[in-house]
Structure 1
Amino acid sequence: MRLRGRRGSQNIEDRRRSGARSGGKAAPIGGVGLLLVLAIGYFAGIDVTPLLQQGGAPQQTQTRQVSAQDERAAEFSSQVLATTEQVWGQIFPQQVGRDYTTPTLVLYADVTQSPCGGASGATGPFYCPADKKAYLDTAFFATLSSQLGARGDFAAAYVIAHEVAHHVQNELGILGQVHQARQRSNQTEANALTVRLELQADCLSGVWARSVKGLLEPGDIEEALNAARMIGDDHLQKRAGRVPQPHTFTHGTSAQRASWFAKGFKSGAINTCDTFSVRRL
């Protein structure tokens, strides 16, 4: 992806140089607050345990060193985020009829906190609708390449675009609608709704990719499609030595993820990404 010399985003919150250490006691969360944290954490698929532990709140910070590789990853993330701002800033007035509100990208190292729960490098990137921020440990790019087999800079860009796509869904009111539907559903039905949500985000990532064609290099789209395949539920379950269990899927199969990204890339239109109205994904 041709990003050399391109501007970075101003919507970056860099927490990499300070890490949380446990100290003191946090005020317990109860009542509606507890239900909200549990609901958002379950919906987002991240660990909310740190927020629910009364004695584990971060009270002190320690300074960390940031490597040159991490600095490059941060610059790259900022530049990719800037492209999403430009793309959705143009698409929303044209296709939605209103302005686009940009999200913030939080860069962190190892662990951090969000209104949706505790985050660690193990949870992977995620979007928190409560504060309209996407969270990313830049070390995930190395994991994506070396452990998951999704190599290339555009594979990493696709990951950022996917989390921004969740923000787009939030702006469109889709996240809230799906969350309400999940509350009325059993586990299998809730998982199926989440699959449709994630595949829609893949499709929206494809819409973004079509709009940055001028920045693409040969092989970039193949990198994104490969990344989509490498993080399909069936592929990940097979890698873990398990027989794929479709009723447990939360993101879609490798074929589905690649297919919906391709649909968005081909059309460049938000309405093409309506995964909730089709019978077969």
Structure 2
Amino acid sequence: MTFRGSGSIETDNVSGGGGGRGGKIALGGGAGLLVTIVALLFGLNPGDIMGGGDSGNDTAAVSEIDQHLNTCTIEKANTDTICRIKYTTISLDRVWSDLMQGYTEPKTVIFSDAVDTGCGAASSSTGPFYCPADKTAYFDPTFFDTLVRMGGSDGPLSQMYVVAHEYGHHVQNLTGALQKGNQMGSHGATSGSVRIELQADCYAGVWAYHADKGEDAMLEPLTSDQIATAIQTARAIGDDTIQGSNSNPEGWTHGSAKQRVKWFSTGYKSGDPGSCDTFSATDLG
């Protein structure tokens, strides 16, 4: 068990399908394919690179996902990926509403194969991402199978960490950190992109610290084994892990495995968003 309680909690912020067009920047998630994330950072259509150029939604798939979301309960969220995403977002909104003055809830879209967003068309190969233009986090649940093949964990908290990372980008959008990071460069071990991603990892850790505490906490007390699954996933999606022995820090966009583990752990140990200032840090790990 990860979620506590029973029955259903409804939210208008999670749906199947895509958002509108318009914006130019999307932030790659904890483990999207790097070439696609670079495209998103530069405001390109990832479909033009990855061959997923269908900008429309599969209406049948959208309908199926919405129907699935309508059946979600707290109990089901402990075994079902789509429901787990839904209830993780509710927990995230509760935690960040308490931690951040002026916090506004983002939208979450769960899609299959392809989706049209405020940042352009994207496909499943993009991986999870957040689009500032429509303030929406996007997830194709099949990504988590890819994550396991990359060496990540299939544990529930591992998946929740990925969702929490994308919500970290939303917090950055509200604070202005995204804009700051985008002005500091998109490649390199100390680039703005790396600082953005490591801060989002730290914010995911902050959420994990608070998610099992308080009267309205939605998670059962987290165990060291569960935290280890999130750390395993953070390690698996470091730039150096993905790129292998030929990894060159000058091309990094998300940070090394060691850095990602460090900053998630920093957030989890402190529970303080103030501990996540990767922009002032002279040593990122």
TM-score, normalised to structure 2, is 0.77
Return the match for 1:221 from 222, 227, 239.
227
Q: What is the aligned length?
A: 249
Q: Are 1:231 and 2:237 matched, yes or no?
A: yes
Which residue of the partner structure matches residue 41 of structure 2? Answer: 44
Identify if the C-alpha distance between structure 1 residues 179 and 190 changes in structure 2 by more than 3 Å, giving closer, same or farther: farther
1:212-251 superposed Cα distances (whole Å, 9 cap, x missing partner): 135244311111111100000101111xxx5111100111
1:113-149 superposed Cα distances (whole Å, 9 cap, x missing partner): 1121221111100000001000100111222224433
Which residue of the partner structure matches residue 9 of structure 2? Answer: 7
**One-letter amino acid matched to 1:63:** A
Q: Are 1:156 and 2:159 matched, yes or no?
A: yes
Q: Contact 1:203–1:260 at 8 Å: present in 2 too?
A: yes
Which residue of the partner structure matches residue 22 of structure 1? Answer: none
Which residue of the partner structure matches residue 205 of structure 1? Answer: 204
> How far apart are the structure 2 equivalents of 1:266 and 1:166?
20
Cα deviation for residue 193 of structure 1 reads 1.3
Q: Percent identity?
A: 36
Aligned-partner SS, 2:191: helix
Identify if the C-alpha distance between structure 1 residues 181 and 232 changes in structure 2 by more than 3 Å, giving closer, same or farther: closer
Q: Contact 1:46–1:123 at 8 Å: present in 2 too?
A: no
* Greater fraction strand: 1
Which residue of the partner structure matches residue 82 of structure 2? Answer: 74
Q: Contact 1:15–1:108 at 8 Å: present in 2 too?
A: yes
Identify if the C-alpha distance between structure 1 residues 47 and 150 changes in structure 2 by more than 3 Å, giving closer, same or farther: farther
Structure-to-structure mapping, 1:57-96, within 5 angstroms: 58=55, 61-64=58-61, 72-92=80-100
Which residue of the partner structure matches residue 176 of structure 1? Answer: 179
Query: Which has the larger displacement, 99-108 or 172-181?
Result: 172-181
Aligned-partner SS, 1:148: coil
> How far apart are the structure 2 equivalents of 1:132 and 1:114?
10
Identify if the C-alpha distance between structure 1 residues 39 and 103 changes in structure 2 by more than 3 Å, giving closer, same or farther: closer
Q: Contact 2:137–2:167 at 8 Å: present in 1 too?
A: yes
Structure-to-structure mapping, 1:109-128, within 5 angstroms: 109-128=112-131
Which residue of the partner structure matches residue 75 of structure 2? Answer: none
> How far apart are the structure 2 equivalents of 1:277 and 1:234?
23
> How far apart are the structure 2 equivalents of 1:190 and 1:234?
11
Q: Contact 1:126–1:136 at 8 Å: present in 2 too?
A: yes
Which runs of 5 or more structure 1 residues have no equivalent in the other structure?
17-28, 93-97
Identify if the C-alpha distance between structure 1 residues 9 and 225 changes in structure 2 by more than 3 Å, giving closer, same or farther: farther
Q: Contact 1:8–1:81 at 8 Å: present in 2 too?
A: no
Identify if the C-alpha distance between structure 1 residues 89 and 200 changes in structure 2 by more than 3 Å, giving closer, same or farther: same
> How far apart are the structure 2 equivalents of 1:37 and 1:190?
24
Identify if the C-alpha distance between structure 1 residues 38 and 174 changes in structure 2 by more than 3 Å, giving closer, same or farther: closer
TM-score, normalised to structure 1, is 0.78
1:167-211 superposed Cα distances (whole Å, 9 cap, x missing partner): 0000111111222343xxxx6469721001100110111110100
Q: Contact 1:125–1:136 at 8 Å: present in 2 too?
A: yes
Which residue of the partner structure matches residue 33 of structure 2? Answer: none
Aligned-partner SS, 2:246: coil
**One-letter amino acid matched to 2:2:** R
Identify if the C-alpha distance between structure 1 residues 255 and 49 changes in structure 2 by more than 3 Å, giving closer, same or farther: closer
1 or 2 for the larger relative contact order (CA 8 Å, sep ≥6)? 2
Aligned-partner SS, 1:150: coil
Q: Contact 2:199–2:277 at 8 Å: present in 1 too?
A: yes
User: Structure 1 stretches (4+) deviating beyond 4 angstroms?
Assistant: 38-43, 49-52, 56-62, 65-68, 187-191
Which residue of the partner structure matches residue 95 of structure 1? Answer: none
Cα deviation for residue 260 of structure 1 reads 0.5
Cα deviation for residue 58 of structure 1 reads 4.6
